[in-house]
A and B are shown apart, each in its own frame.
Chain A
């Protein structure tokens, strides 16, 4: 049977405010346990939450970027459950009236464009952390993270493959960092993903039963977990079994998902409007002010890159995977006047090298100005693509310009006809057998001769010219 995959994703985006969502305590990561928990986070008797307005501004910023509806009256609700790292016994979240609804995110998989619906985004507070190691049978509780502002962004079940799911989270990630509302530090939990997966026989209208993979903090884990889960569900169904609705955890060591709790164990959270907080009111002016402050968004920038620099839609999408990357590309493209070449280098060699070293574009040892120096030399024929790579390698490990390296290492491409003719004549004279074979109709023999010329020139001869002159001489 052919199976269709259905995926919906919830992302907890940690907002980069200086203080917490309902108190003035600092949100800085990595402080000694419980030193950043005020009486509000500790839930002392009598303390009350006061909303940090910066959280609202950042939520509106994302809402506008998602082309979503901003609910100008939205309401905080209490989500009730007991856990030691949830000191009040309830999380302040939003239920019936979230701040953002009905947004959309455009993704590109291969050359297929698709729009994924964003059901809602709501503001809430993070819980603290329970630490089960290092305490010899006891659990430690660190409430520094409690009260950190989150935006929970919930998608429609619109994704039909792991690739689409990955594309969606990557676009969302790019967007929240692009907008400057999230520091994007996935290792510190700034972007945590819950993935709802189900499968159904192709052509079936109803969704299959879903299982939710909780708390993934890397794209690689998401990919591994979703692939494993999909296969597990298909195997289960094909073996005549049933998928039960459940919450599962991904174990990166085994690469498997395992059940955390079944639907029967699901909490009744007893949501109701928090009487300690007034409904959030958002004025037209506030929205207008935030809209005016929005940067050019990735989608608009992609279209402009295609239009102004002639790059492909695919390349444009890659180039706008982060604001820094896009800015880097545009600086190199402008300085060199070579948009396509700049795109090829940014998405090609540079991406590969950064990826290999586990680095981001911000850490790239070659800045946009130096890259454009290299591109200019490719465009004007000074460097063959092979030589260009050689220069690039040298640039990566130094602070020299492309020109300085070309000069130092004598790497200029030889396009001087006289010099090439001389080397061609020498090659013909030294390889009579190859000449004979070529004249007998064996085309490949020409490559051997060209190889000899390139070798003699130490790779600097212009390969196209070598071919042309060889053919002329042997004709």
Chain B
């Protein structure tokens, strides 16, 4: 039961082979047993969860249950959820109980999904290793010495460890795809604007996008059907007809044109990962896909562009955490400025402070043009690269990260090394494109490696089709860590 997919669980619930309450109890027991080791949840509330589960059972008894009603889900601690602590991995919000639901949470609630808890993450979604959480790092379920990836490390870990069948995540520069890759689960970052950012604590507004993590592409499609949709409370939410992301899952891949960006297979890519990606490409060729070499010449520039734009936006998005209305406030202070300084010095961790300072610097008078404006121009160049590439292919494939998960503590002293490992994921966010990670093998040390699929704007159904067909032909996504 614990290895069942979202789809399988929903079928069993529909068949009344199991109740939602029983299912939730099963997961809660497993969480109680394993979370002390993995540290993947920040908040678990047995009573709340069981109450939600009983409500779902009542709906089913009344014949009003939808497709996913009663299935448990874990929410990244970045989505505001009424009555739950919404900490965003920060001391700053350690005492913040959200008075309202994010759009994503509303949609999940309306679908009858049952909240198992709130998953650990890098503070304010800033990080690639989950080592930046106020609540301590998440351990990779495949190897407790390894990082789970970040910032949605908790969400990836709970799905990998079967502490939840599905989880929500957010991806600003790779924060769904990279932990999905490192934990051997499937995750998708949709086109910017597909999932509402309302109630999603902002890191970098023009890059942040919510999405699902699950065992399979099919589950991702089903959960994305719930999460996506126009929301007038988010001005960047796109007003489009509701679509069924699972509609093309079973389409054959004959004639599919796969683009392989030269720059993604160059220096810096580990042999382990290169081998896994090559294997996946060979598999897809067997399924009828054709391969074309493409070029994304400005890939290298995505790192400096991202690390200007994201901190710039973050530096002002995080100004609201001032100790005045909610969240942490320093216990003692002389005056207003002292209160601000102490509150923020105590409430934020080192990486958050680093990005606030970088962001403040690049927006400062006299530097704005040289940094922020320049970065925005690079962003346009990167989007143009993809535009040209998609004239030659249907999807782009490549690695998610240069290597499998590194060890906890290995890069935490060297932020630049950490930033460089985001090379294959950042440009997707800068261009606003959808991207996903699909389990595709293991490194020599036994740690999982994902394959990245990048789609054109609104190409989610196509990407999910490729991923699903790959998963029909392989069993990487069914592998679970021994715990």
- Find chain B residues with CB under 8 A from A49 CB: 235
The CA-CA distance from A174 to B319 in the complex, in Å, is 39
| Measured CA separation A443–B343 after assembly (Å) | 90
Is B348 among interface residues, defined by CB-CB distance under 8 A?
Answer: no
Question: Is B29's CB within 8 Å of the partner chain A?
Answer: no
The stretch of A100-108, A215-223, A275-283 that contacts the partner chain: A275-283
B336→A84 contact, CB < 8 A: yes
For B236, the chain A residues whose CB sits under 8 A away are 275-276, 278
A44 near B80 with CB under 8 A, answer yes
Choose among A47, A51, A90, A270 the residue with the greatest number of B CB atoms under 10 Å from its CB.
A270
For the complex, what is the distance from the CA of A195 to the CA of B197, rounded to whole Å? Answer: 41
Chain B, 183-240, CB within 8 A of any chain A CB? 197-202, 204-206, 232-236
Inside 8 A of A270's CB, which chain B residues have their CB?
Answer: 315-316, 360, 363-365, 368
B152 to chain A, nearest CB (A): 16
Known contacts A46-B198, A276-B236; is-contact A84 B324 (Cβ 8 Å): yes
Interface positions of A from 65 to 97, Cβ below 8 Å from B: 78, 80, 82, 84, 87-90
Shortest beta-carbon distance from A65 to chain B in Å: 28
Docked-complex contact A39 and B96, CB < 8 angstroms: no
Any chain A CB within 8 A of the CB of B460? no
When the two chains form their complex, are residues B364 and A84 in contact, meaning their CB atoms are under 8 A apart?
Answer: no
Which chain B residues border A48 with CB–CB below 8 Å? 197-198, 233-235
A46 touches B320 (CB 8 A): no
- Which residues of A sit under 8 angstroms from B363, Cβ to Cβ? 80, 270-272
Which residues of B sit under 8 angstroms from A80, Cβ to Cβ?
316, 319, 363
Residues of chain A contacted by B80 (CB below 8 angstroms) = 44-46
Interface 1/0 per residue, B75-117 and A, CB below 8 Å: 0000110000010100001001011101000000000000000
Report chain B residues within 8 Å CB of A275.
Answer: 204-206, 236, 313
Contact between chains at B200 and A278 (CB < 8 Å): no
For chain B, the count of residues having a C-beta within 8 Å of the partner chain is 43
Check A50 against B233 for contact (C-beta < 8 Å).
yes
The yes or no answer to B325 lying at the interface (CB within 8 A) is: yes
Q: Is the CB of A87 within 8 A of B198?
A: no
Q: Is the CB of B360 within 8 A of A87?
A: no
Q: How many residues of chain A have a CB within 8 Å of chain B?
A: 28
The distance from the CB of A127 to the nearest CB of chain B, in whole angstroms, is 13
Question: Quick one: closest A residue to B90, CB to CB?
Answer: A45
Q: Given A45-B88, A272-B312, A278-B235: A84 and B322 within 8 A (CB)?
A: yes
Q: Are A45 and B93 in contact, CB atoms less than 8 angstroms apart? A: yes
The answer to whether the Cβ of A43 comes within 8 Å of any Cβ in the partner chain is: yes
**Residue of chain B at shortest CB distance from A45:** B201
| Contact residues in B for A50 (Cβ distance below 8 Å) | 232-235
Is B333 part of the binding interface, using a Cβ–Cβ cutoff of 8 Å?
Answer: no
**CB of A42 closer than 8 Å to a CB of B:** yes
B320 adjacent to A43 (CB under 8 Å): yes
Contacts of A88 in B (CB 8 A): 319-320
**Contact residues in B for A39 (Cβ distance below 8 Å):** 99-100
* B457 sits at the interface (CB 8 A): no
Q: Is B306 part of the binding interface, using a Cβ–Cβ cutoff of 8 Å?
A: no
Q: Nearest chain B CB to A417's CB is how many angstroms away?
A: 82
Q: Are B202 and A46 in contact (CB under 8 A)?
A: yes
Please tell me if the beta carbons of A90 and B319 are within 8 angstroms of each other in the complex.
yes
- Min distance, Cβ A301 to any Cβ of chain B, angstroms: 39
Q: B372 contacts the other chain (Cβ, under 8 Å)?
A: yes
A252-281: which residues lie under 8 A (CB-CB) from chain B? 268, 270-272, 275-278
Instruction: Return B287 CB to nearest CB of chain A, in Å.
Output: 40
State the CA gap A88–B232 with chains docked (Å).
21
Known A-B contacts A82-B322, A84-B336; A90 and B205 likewise in contact (beta carbons under 8 Å): no
A-contact 0/1 string along B149-175, CB 8 Å cutoff:
000000000000000000000000000
Does residue B340 face the partner (Cβ distance < 8 Å to A)? yes
State the CA gap A268–B93 with chains docked (Å): 28
Q: Does A454 contact B (CB under 8 A)?
A: no
Asked whether, in the complex, the Cβ of A45 is within 8 Å of the Cβ of B320, the reply is: yes
Is the pair A87, B325 in contact by a Cβ cutoff of 8 Å? yes
- Considering only CB atoms, which chain B residue lies closest to A277 in the complex? B235
Task: Give Cα A270–Cα B368 distance, bound, in whole angstroms.
Answer: 8
Q: Tell me the minimal C-beta distance from A49 to chain B in angstroms.
A: 7
Q: In the complex, which residue of chain B has the Cβ closest to the Cβ of A139?
A: B336
Chain B 328-342 interface 0/1 with A at a Cβ cutoff of 8 Å (1 = within): 000000001000100
Q: Is A141 an interface residue (CB 8 A)?
A: yes
**List of A residues within 8 angstroms of B318 by Cβ:** 89
Chain A residues with CB below 8 A from B235, complex form: 48-51, 276-278
User: Do the beta carbons of A46 and B199 come within 8 Å of each other?
Assistant: yes
How far is the CB of B342 from the nearest CB of chain A, in Å?
13
Inter-chain contacts of B200 with A (CB < 8 A) = 46
Chain A residues contacting B201 (CB-CB under 8 Å) are 45-46
Per the 8 Å Cβ criterion, residues 216-237 of A in contact with B are none
- Give A38 Cβ to nearest chain B Cβ, in Å: 10
Task: Tell me, in angstroms, the Cα distance from A51 to B322 when the chains sit together.
Answer: 25
Chain B nearest Cβ from A237, distance in angstroms = 29
Interchain CA distance A87-B320 in the complex, whole Å: 6
Distance in Å: Cβ of A129 to nearest Cβ of chain B = 14
> With the chains together, A87 CA to B316 CA distance in Å?
12
Residue from B234, B316, B325 within 8 A of A42 (CB atoms) = B325
Instruction: Annotate A20-48 by CB proximity to B: 1 below 8 A, 0 otherwise.
Output: 00000000000000000001001111111
Closest residue on chain B to residue A269 by CB atoms = B365
Q: How far is the CA of A44 from the CA of B198 in the complex (A)?
A: 11
Q: Is the CB of A44 within 8 A of B100?
A: yes
**Residue in B79, B325, B365 whose beta carbon sits within 8 Å of that of A43 in the complex:** B325
In the assembled complex, the Cα of A141 lies from the Cα of B323 at a distance in Å of 13
Q: For A43, list chain B residues within 8 Å (CB).
A: 320, 325
Cα distance A51–B198 in the bound complex, in angstroms: 14
A residues less than 8 Å from B234 (CB atoms): 48, 50
Which of A43, A275, A278 has most chain B Cβ within 10 Å?
Answer: A275
Give complex CA distance A50, B322 in Å: 23
Give Cα A277 to B198, complex, Å.
13
Contact A45 B198 (CB under 8 A): no
Query: Which residues in B have their C-beta under 8 angstroms from that of A82?
Result: 319, 322, 340
User: Interface readout for A435-451 with B: 1 if CB under 8 Å, 0 if not?
Assistant: 00000000000000000
**Residues of chain B lying within 8 A (CB to CB) of residue A278:** 235-236
A42 to B316: give the CA distance in the assembly, Å.
16
Smallest CB-CB separation from A278: which chain B residue?
Answer: B235
CB distance from B102 to the nearest CB of A (A): 6
Q: Which residues of chain A have C-beta atoms less than 8 A from B99's C-beta?
A: 39, 44
The answer to whether B316 touches A78, judged by C-beta atoms less than 8 angstroms apart, is yes
How distant is A145 from chain B, measured CB to nearest CB, in Å? 16
Determine which of A47, A89, A276, A277 lies in contact with B322 in the assembled complex, contact meaning CB atoms within 8 Å. A89
Distance A88 CA – B205 CA, assembled complex (angstroms) = 14
Q: How far is the CA of A51 from the CA of B234 in the complex (A)?
A: 10
Query: What is the bound-complex CA distance between A271 and B373, given in angstroms?
Result: 12
A residues neighboring B (CB under 8 Å): 39, 42-51, 78, 80, 82, 84, 87-90, 141, 268, 270-272, 275-278
Can you list 13 A-B contacts with CB-CB less than 8 angstroms, sorted by A residue number?
A: A42-B325, A45-B201, A46-B201, A47-B198, A48-B235, A50-B235, A80-B316, A87-B320, A87-B324, A90-B316, A270-B368, A275-B205, A276-B205
Q: A44-B98, A45-B98, A275-B206 are in contact. List 4 more A-B contacts (CB 8 A).
A: A44-B80, A46-B198, A89-B322, A272-B368
In order of increasing CB-CB distance, the 9 nearest A-B pairs are A89-B319, A275-B206, A270-B363, A275-B205, A46-B199, A43-B320, A45-B201, A46-B80, A268-B365
